[in-house]
Amino acid sequence: MNFFSIKTSFQDTIKQVLSNNKNIVFNDLSGYDKNKILKGDLVFIIISGDKVKKSIKYENGLRAIGKISKTPLKGKDDKHFGLEVEIIHFLLKSISKKDFYYYPSLQDVGNLGPDTKGSAAQPCRFIEGVSGQNVIRAIKDITKSNLDPSIFDSIVGNNYFIEKLQISTLDGNIKIKGDNKISFYIQEKFVEWFKKAENYKKSYEGLVNLKVLSFWNESYFNNSLFLIELDNLEESFLKTEKLIADKSNQEWKSYSEASSKGAPEAVLGKNNYLKFLFEFLKEENNINKLRDFDLSQNVICSLIQEPFDYKKFHKNTQEAGLIFSEPITARFVASLCTKPFVICSGLSGSGKTKLAQAFVRWICETEEQYKIIPVGADWTNREPLLGYPNAIETEKYVVPENGALELIIKASLDDKKPYFLILDEMNLSHVERYFADFLSAMESGEAIPLHTIEDHEYMPNNIILPKNLFIIGTVNIDETTYMFSPKVLDRANTIEFRVNEKDLTNYFDSKIKLDMDSLKFKGTSMAESFINIATDETNKDFDKAKVELLYFFTELKKSGAEFGYRSASEIGRLIQKLEELGEEGDDLLDIAIMQKLLPKLHGSRSKLSKILITLGNLCLNDSIDSKTKYFDQLDDIDFTESNIKYKLSFEKIIRMYKNALDNGFTSYAEA
């Protein structure tokens, strides 16, 4: 008996499946030699289709198991054919690729398991015997239902055991336990190692993949082949070496000789797996990654969700040796909660990227929830972030290697956790060129189109930016970078990072060694609460700000930098989030002016000098003689004095005014 999968998006055929019709004809199939398909072969039926094309409501995924009842039917040409199938088991609901994720042996199983190779989408796929048996075992494990023993017992040899990543459920969240993460990760890394040109051997092709390695591990090595004892790496390697060389393991010896003339033993031998493992265990980064998995077993699985508290984050950053003031921490968090696009601008080395790194390490469960991607000066379109359809092999989609697109897709499938895309030195290239699709989608809520390949196996036709995805851009200003346009600034909260004498003194006096790793997982228990705050769209607080905002609007309009409804709405939302985090009084509007209004200002001395003075006066309680007292005494201003109502904004306006006088031009961004 052979195993196959059939994937159909034909609505009439799907209606028959959902109506539990016993005999169904699947037409227009391709992807396999029809002459090798025999009556009695087992078929897994997958229903699929884009949401907009569905005439009835259903979830994509595996929905039935059948047997081929007749030899293949003729199709429209030699490549296409039809199959008449007798359904032997209907599923009450669809089983998706996500459901199969926890079964390593189902990786890359045609049309069913998670696809790591970017295989072409085909309506009919052959599934090798062991994988076909494991699909049945996984179905039984997922559905907890009784499969007809008279049919299925003989197919799986009365053995329904399948290796599964161990999970524990707490508060509805699924956590993969550490030991199995370690085993699975080592297998993945060995496959990557083998594919490198210097390690690849064509004679072992087909043996070094996750499903084969998982099968060997489960069937012949009692699931011990890829386990590592982190407290004794040398002893652990010797144990693995001894396990593989064990002559008493006759089942393994016999299998290796019978299946591929000893090739399986060679794959695990000193020139392949053992060589890989020896090299792997010497790299400190690899061991740190394994320790993360081990720690996650003990820490993450015991989480209880609690209310978000940014002060705990600030306290943890200080304990980790980071020198950030509490106000900058509050502004950063409030900005993320206001709009999931934040720009961190300022002096190089002032902590922009470090604050972003600190927050994602603190709140994320795993490193899979964030990507830090350096922007390239050659980014001239969206391809570095979103990929592109392969022009030669039209059924394939080229995914960017930096992981940005996979991160967005993961976030859309996991809406209870925050995901972060950090674009480092975002203005090394023109932002409007490579980021235009994101800017548009942020406001419209519309999908970003990726390709038009019908029913692609692993890449959707379009993506919608999920609400739990947060984008953070860092910006350095010098002669090698580009300034942001008003279009970009209008869609972000811009936080300026500066270092003053007090900050430097605190840095010099600090005796705490920088330890970013100490932040890991500390805030994971607040992740769900953080998401709830960020996605709560109730109440925009204009009561405290509307009169002042109208004054600023009037003056900004004179320079062509007035704000629209979007900025007004986001200012109200920012004020609300700042209040929730404990900010109060004049600081609320001060931060909003600094982050949402002033970034739009740029121009010549003649254009802006008078406007800057007027805006500065709006930041004062008493603006009488302000020109003489402040703007003519730029180097002698005490920015802590009580007459200055909006201290952050006033200090910034003074610096911009000084730059206009000194250089004949000024902008929010400063080198």
| Domain spans in the chain, listed from the N-terminal domain onward | 3-164, 178-302, 333-496+522-528
Task: State how far the Cα of 48 lies from the Cα of 45, in Å rounded to an integer.
Answer: 10
Residue for token digits 């997958």? Answer: 46
What pLDDT score was predicted for residue 302?
A: 38
Residue for token digits 């094309």? Answer: 53
Task: State how far the Cα of 211 lies from the Cα of 104, in Å rounded to an integer.
Answer: 6
Q: Where are the beta strands (DSSP E) in 565-657?
A: 602-604
Stretch (H or E) spanning 244: helix 233-245
Query: How is residue 519 written in tokens?
Result: 């932040």
- pLDDT tens digits along 353-398: 999 999 999 999 888 899 999 999 999 999 999 999 888 887 788 8
- Residue-level length of the chain: 671
Q: How is 479-525 classified by DSSP, letter by letter?
A: TTS-PPPHHHHTTSEEEEE---HHHHHHHHH--PPP-GGGGTTTTGG
Task: State how far the Cα of 542 lies from the Cα of 186, in Å rounded to an integer.
Answer: 54
In terms of DSSP bridges, do strands 81-95 and 23-29 run parallel, antiparallel, or are they unpaired? antiparallel
Q: Whole-structure pTM over 0.75, yes or no?
A: no
Q: Where are the beta strands (DSSP E) in 128-231?
A: 167-170, 173-176
Cβ contact 360:551 at 8 Å: no
In terms of DSSP bridges, do strands 124-127 and 388-389 run parallel, antiparallel, or are they unpaired? unpaired
- b/e 14-26 (16+ beta carbons within 10 angstroms → b): bebbbeeeeebeb
Q: What percent of the chain has pLDDT over 70?
A: 92
Give the angle 366-227-294 at the CA atoms, nearest 5°: 30
- Residue 304 in this model has a pLDDT that exceeds 80: no
Output 437 or 289, whichever has higher pLDDT. Answer: 437
Cβ contact 149:203 at 8 Å: no
Measuring CA to CA, which residue among 159, 263, 146 is closest to residue 201?
A: 263
Range from 74-88, 99-113, 634-648 carrying the lowest mean pLDDT: 99-113
What pLDDT score was predicted for residue 299?
A: 39
- pLDDT tens digits along 135-184: 999 999 888 777 888 898 889 888 887 877 644 333 333 333 445 667 87
| 3-class secondary-structure state, position 105 | helix
Compute and round to an integer the Cα radius of gyration of the chain.
30
Q: What is the DSSP letter of 595?
A: I
Task: State how far the Cα of 573 lies from the Cα of 289, in Å rounded to an integer.
Answer: 39
615 residue type, one letter:
L
Query: How is residue 3 written in tokens?
Result: 């195993």
Average pLDDT over residues 261-266: 86
Task: State how far the Cα of 498 lies from the Cα of 503, in Å rounded to an integer.
Answer: 9
What pLDDT score was predicted for residue 169?
A: 36
Average pLDDT over residues 26-41: 90
Q: Which fold has domain 333-496+522-528?
A: Rossmann fold (3.40.50)
Give the angle 368-191-182 at the CA atoms, nearest 5°: 50
Average pLDDT over residues 113-118: 56
Helices (H) and strands (E) in the chain, counts: 27, 20
Measuring CA to CA, which residue among 61, 133, 135 is closest to residue 103?
A: 135
What pLDDT score was predicted for residue 539?
A: 58
Q: What is the DSSP letter of 121?
A: P
What pLDDT score was predicted for residue 148?
A: 87
| 3-class secondary-structure state, position 395 | coil
Mutual orientation of helices 129-143 and 210-220 as an angle, nearest 10°?
A: 80
Rounded to a whole number, what is the distance in angstroms from the first to the last CA of the chain? 70
Which stretch, 117-131, 285-299, 378-392, 481-495, has highest mean pLDDT?
378-392
Measuring CA to CA, which residue among 461, 469, 464, 460 is closest to residue 441?
A: 464
Query: How is residue 423 written in tokens?
Result: 């674009």
Give the angle 570-571-572 at the CA atoms, nearest 5°: 90
Measuring CA to CA, which residue among 87, 86, 85, 45 is closest to residue 62?
A: 45
What pLDDT score was predicted for residue 173?
A: 37
Average pLDDT over residues 491-507: 84
Cβ contact 159:153 at 8 Å: no
Q: Which region, left, alpha or beta, applies to residue 445 given φ > 0 means left and ψ of -120 to 50 means alpha?
A: left
- pLDDT tens digits along 45-62: 999 987 778 889 898 899
Q: Where are the beta strands (DSSP E) in 21-117?
A: 23-29, 42-47, 61-68, 73-74, 81-95
Task: State how far the Cα of 21 lies from the Cα of 38, in Å rounded to an integer.
Answer: 22
- b/e 293-327 (16+ beta carbons within 10 angstroms → b): bbebbebbbebebeebbbeebbebbbebebbbeee
The CATH number, out of the four listed (3.10.590, 1.10.287, 3.90.580, 3.30.70), of the domain defined by the range 3-164: 3.10.590
Cβ contact 342:335 at 8 Å: yes
Average pLDDT over residues 120-124: 72
Q: Residue 587 — φ and ψ, nearest 5°?
A: -60, -30
Task: State how far the Cα of 59 lies from the Cα of 48, in Å rounded to an integer.
Answer: 8
- pLDDT tens digits along 426-452: 989 999 899 999 999 988 889 999 988
257 confidence band (pLDDT: 50, 70, 90):
confident
Stretch (H or E) spanning 556: helix 546-557
Count CA atoms closer than 13 A to 538's CA, side-chain side: 4
244 residue type, one letter:
I
